[in-house]
Amino acid sequence: KRLFGRNAVEPVAYDRVALERVYAGGLSNGGFIARRAAELGFVDGAVEISGVLWRADAGNLLRELPMLLRATSRDPWDLEMLARAGFPAVEPAWKPLIDLYKLVYWESSLGLFVSDLDPSYAGPLERYNLDARPDALAAVREFENTGDLKCPLISISGRKDWLISCAGHAEAYRDLVKSRGKADLHRMVIEDDAAHIDTNADMFPFVTPLMPRAHAAFDELVTWVEKLSTQPA
């Protein structure tokens, strides 16, 4: 492979290196990519943090984010709709953080996904109905998670994730893996007081950052993969 040097004039040649192990790691949609890499057999092991679960016929952000927008469009919030979307009870201490997510992340994230997966949609985002958009459903099916792991995967999630629900993404993926008979290749850690973004702890000290757990999980993953490699085929 050839890469350009610092002067951006003369290319610099790098010799290929034989890789003994390849690992994937990712956060949020990067977590989804780490899962897919583990499902497709592209890597020897993976760690995903707050990974987004993409399934055409169940859950996914194109269903959940419109529900969040509708449920919180007026006071008092529709707590039953929030629960149907998979989110936990709104605890008073967490309400300011949820307000921040509502202000910054929900509509902008939904807008990005709709523009990418369903660019012809022109209606209000809070009224987006994935099940009435066959082209978008077909697009999701092309890359959806299968749960059919080919290598070890460690998943880390926060119970108080107010962008992607723990129930609808972390726990739903755990159940998907189990349904494919691959539970022995999956380990999951759920932190009760973790959110989607670790830097939330700067403003809200009660938030538990996930990255320290992710760093420890990577060491755990390497040990796990190396142990499996010594077992008879």
> Do residues 204 and 98 make contact, with C-beta atoms less than 8 angstroms apart?
no
Q: What's the pLDDT tens digit per position in 39-87?
A: 999 999 999 999 999 999 988 999 999 999 999 999 999 999 999 999 9
Q: In degrees rounded to 5, what are phi and psi of residue 79?
A: -70, -30
**What span, in angstroms and rounded, lies between the C-alpha atoms of 112 and 197?**
18
Whether the ω angle into residue 76 lies within 30 degrees of 0, i.e. cis, is yes
pLDDT (tens digit, 0 to 9) for every residue of the chain, 233 residues total?
Answer: 223 333 344 445 555 667 789 999 999 999 999 999 999 999 999 999 999 999 999 889 999 999 999 999 999 999 999 999 999 999 999 999 999 999 999 999 999 999 999 999 999 999 999 999 999 999 999 999 999 999 999 999 999 999 999 999 999 999 999 999 999 999 999 999 999 999 999 999 999 999 999 999 999 999 999 999 888 76
Amino acid at 97: L
* Rounded CA separation 154/185 (Å): 8
Distance of CA 100 to the CA centre of its chain: 19
**Using N-to-C axis directions, what is the helix angle for 107-117 and 134-141, rounded to 10°?**
90
Kind of pairing between the strands at 11-13 and 23-27 = unpaired
